[in-house]
Each structure stands twice: as structure tokens, then as C-alpha cells.
Amino acid sequence: MIELDISKQKFELYDFTESVIQFKSPSKIINKFSLDIWGIIIPIKMFSIEQYGLGNDLILFDDNVYISGFSTIYFEDVDSIEIEVELLSEMKPHEHIYQYDGSKCKIKKKWGSNSSSEGYNYEIFSSIDWPFGSSFLSIIASGKATLEIEPERFIPLNQYILNTSKYGLNINGD
């Protein structure tokens, strides 16, 4: 396991668009908050490997990295958490769920207040496993952000693209 500091602007180096978050709703704002995320992309072709704090001995291929497994991000000194989910059907093809008025069915929740916060706004656009849907997550934290990853789960992004059913998270067995 490798632990990387991804605080503030370092967080922007990672791509979460193919990720699925296991969101554990907090009952209240806590000092340390964690997210388990499957499928983080490390675009090493866009930024140098050194910017990530990784060595050449960890990545033995010439492609962006897809992490085929769960990684954990820890946020310290959390001021607020906000999530909005556009609900999708769980069966493939995953289609939006609509309300009676024709608008997309969305749910939203916020913990804490960022009105006086000087923390960094960590934003993640991804999918969420429950309630299943596409999500926008905002975590404002003034402390450190840390990513724990398993290098043995690194695969070339191209392999994931060619076989998403093998390397992606299998939601509901489909």
C-alpha cells in the first residue's frame, strides 16, 4: 500500500470520471472523513509521474493508470460535505429516473457549513453505488488529504476501456 499526499491542487491531478464511490453518509461533520473509491485514473501521460509522488518502478507500462480496485481518500479537518445524486436505474442500460413533471430525479444533502471556511474545496464528479446514480460531491476541508492505493491494482487505462466488465466495479451483478 502506498500513501500519497493529495492535498489542495495535487487533488486536481486525478481523474474520477470513471470512478464509483461507496459513500458512507456521516451522521454529523467529523474531523476525519474517508471515501472508498473504485476506478481512479492517474493520467501520467498528462502530468509527470514525479508530480504524483510515484516511482517508475511502480508503473511498468506506457499508458495512463486505471486503479482496478478500491482506494481510500482521507480528508482531515472537514468543514462541510455536500452531495447531489442524479438517480439512475440499476439495470443496464443505466437510464435516468424522472419525476412526474419530467425533470430528472435528484437528491441532495449537506452536512456542516462552509460560510466561514477557508478550507480547500475538493470536488468529485463520478458515480455512486447507493443510491445508484451520477454524483457531484464537494468536501471542504482545511487539513490534509491523503490517498491510499495498492500498486498491484494498477492497469493500463486502455485495458480498462477494452474490458470494463472485467476491470470496472460490478454493480448488482450485471
The per-residue pLDDT for range 49-64, each reduced to its tens digit, is: 888 988 878 887 889 9
Q: Write down the pLDDT at residue 174.
A: 46
Taking alpha carbons only, the member of 106, 164, 109, 171 closest to residue 137 is 109
Q: What is the pLDDT of residue 9?
A: 95
> Can you tell me the distance from the alpha carbon of 6 to that of 4, in angstroms, rounded to the nearest whole number?
6
Q: The dihedral of CA 88, 71, 27, 8: what is its sign?
A: negative
What is the spatial distance between Cα 48 and Cα 42, in angstroms, rounded to a whole number?
10
Q: pLDDT digits over 2-40, tens only?
A: 999 999 999 999 999 999 999 988 877 778 899 999 999
